[in-house]
């Protein structure tokens, strides 16, 4: 019987995948084995450390629900999500920069009229958001679905709240761009917030003394037919946590300077009884194909 030692075990495991029919799957598995084995050898990993790692990953999976994805959170805080995003978007050619989808895209995005207050039930400083979708030359794109979602003034997404099942979505909607590529809505100014820290990922962040905060932002998913889907955030300029995003998602181009306004009406001509903020941002998309991302719960349903 063949005897495997530290020096020849890796080659044997890599070779065990040689008959994998799909060449890409074969490549991914073989490279994963090489990387894992190299990590074990480089760190002189102990049995106790490996058992701890298995327990950590087990608890990470057990924390997942249809509206919470702890593995996505783990990928985010390790910078893997942003690295995957970066290697898949190396050539931007003037298109708006991308960032991670995040764990709170749950697919509850109903088509909503322009100007709607998507955070009507929430307290917070009022904000008017106006956006425009164009191609790389600046030509406006009409009829484009734009999904938006963001946290409330306490730093929570609607799907994190126990009232989500009964009250439905909040600070989450879909707008369709008009003939000039524009969309606009009312909401509240989001704030910095900590990632969920009540699970294994939170334990890791706490133990390693890393800040758990994300700077204030709004998520956007732009899905123009005939163009590459754009998944991005727009960050609130001046946020104190802009330089220490726990998921490494901030890019200079994606920081918007929010104007504080006292005008008695907002840009759509409707009255505003209190001071408010104005966010303006233009999204540039590049030609191409591909399906817009779906929430993991939807993927699981399709695969079942």
Instruction: Give the model's pLDDT for residue 68.
Output: 82
Residues 195 and 264 in one domain: yes
Overall average pLDDT of the 199-221 stretch? 96
Highest mean pLDDT among 142-156, 175-189, 262-276: 175-189
Q: Answer whether residue 14 is part of any domain.
A: yes
Overall average pLDDT of the 51-67 stretch? 94
Residues 76 and 40 in one domain: no
The predicted model scores a pTM of 0.87
Quick one: what percent of the chain has pLDDT higher than 70? 95
Overall average pLDDT of the 46-64 stretch? 97
Structural domain span for residue 196: 70-289
Count structural domains, the chain: 2
273-287 burial, b at 16+ Cβ within 10 Å, e below that, comes to: eeebbbbbeebbbbe
Residues 39 and 88 in one domain: no
Residues 124 and 253 in one domain: yes
Q: Answer whether residue 100 is part of any domain.
A: yes
Q: Answer whether residue 182 is part of any domain.
A: yes
Classify residue 58 by its DSSP letter.
Answer: H
Q: Answer whether residue 123 is part of any domain.
A: yes
Q: Answer whether residue 19 is part of any domain.
A: yes
Predicted confidence (pLDDT) at residue 302 exceeds the cutoff of 70 = no
Q: Answer whether residue 296 is part of any domain.
A: no
Tell me the per-residue pLDDT of 219-233, one tens digit each, with 9 for 90 and over: 999 999 999 999 999
Predicted confidence (pLDDT) at residue 65 exceeds the cutoff of 90 = no
The CATH number that applies at residue 100 is: 2.60.130.10
Tell me the per-residue pLDDT of 168-192, one tens digit each, with 9 for 90 and over: 778 899 999 999 999 999 999 999 9
Residues 39 and 87 in one domain: no
Tell me the per-residue pLDDT of 85-124, one tens digit each, with 9 for 90 and over: 999 888 888 999 999 888 788 776 889 999 999 998 888 9
- Report which of 283, 235, 233 is spatially closest to residue 258, judged by C-alpha positions: 235
Residues 142 and 281 in one domain: yes
Residues 1 and 126 in one domain: no
Spell out the long-range contacts of 266-271 with Cβ–Cβ below 8 A and sequence spacing 24 or more. 266/128, 266/186, 267/128, 267/130, 267/184, 268/114, 268/115, 268/128, 268/184, 270/115
Provide the pLDDT confidence category of residue 296 given band limits of 50, 70 and 90: low
**Of residues 118 and 165, more confidently modeled:** 118
Q: Answer whether residue 55 is part of any domain.
A: no
Q: What is the mean pLDDT of the chain?
A: 91
Task: Give the pairing of strands 172-176 and 145-149.
Answer: antiparallel
Residues 158 and 27 in one domain: no
Question: Where do the DSSP E strands lie in the chain?
Answer: 126-134, 145-149, 172-176, 182-188, 193-194, 213-214, 217-222, 230-236, 255-256, 259-261, 276-284
């Amino acid at each position: 019987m063949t005897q495997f030692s530290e020096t020849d075990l890796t080659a044997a495991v890599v070779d065990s995948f040689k008959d994998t029919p799909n060449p890409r799957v074969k490549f991914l598995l073989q490279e994963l084995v090489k990387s894992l084995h190299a990590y074990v050898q480089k760190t002189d990993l102990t049995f106790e450390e490996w058992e701890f790692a298995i327990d950590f990953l087990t608890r990470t999976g057990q924390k997942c629900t249809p509206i919470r994805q702890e593995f996505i959170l783990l990928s985010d805080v390790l910078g893997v999500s942003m690295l995957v995003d970066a290697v898949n978007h190396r050539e931007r050619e003037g298109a708006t920069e991308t960032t991670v989808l995040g764990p709170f895209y749950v697919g509850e995005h109903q088509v909503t009229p322009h100007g709607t207050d998507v955070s009507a039930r929430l307290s917070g400083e009022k904000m008017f958001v106006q956006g425009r979708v164009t191609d790389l030359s600046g030509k406006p794109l009409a009829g484009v679905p734009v999904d938006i979602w963001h946290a409330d003034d306490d730093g929570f997404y609607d799907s994190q709240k126990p009232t989500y099942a009964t009250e439905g979505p909040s600070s989450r909607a879909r707008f369709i761009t008009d003939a000039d590529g524009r969309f606009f809505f009312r909401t509240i100014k989001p704030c910095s917030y900590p990632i969920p820290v009540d699970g294994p990922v939170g334990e890791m962040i706490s133990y390693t003394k890393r800040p758990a905060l994300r700077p204030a932002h709004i998520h956007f998913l732009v899905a123009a037919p005939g163009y590459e889907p754009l998944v991005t955030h727009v960050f609130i300029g001046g946020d104190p946590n802009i330089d220490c995003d726990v998921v490494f998602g901030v890019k200079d181009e994606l920081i918007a300077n929010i104007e504080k306004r006292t005008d008695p009406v907002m840009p759509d001509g409707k009255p505003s009884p209190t001071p408010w903020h104005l966010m303006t941002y233009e999204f540039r998309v590049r030609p191409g194909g591909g399906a817009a991302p779906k929430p993991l719960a939807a993927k699981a349903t399709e695969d079942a």
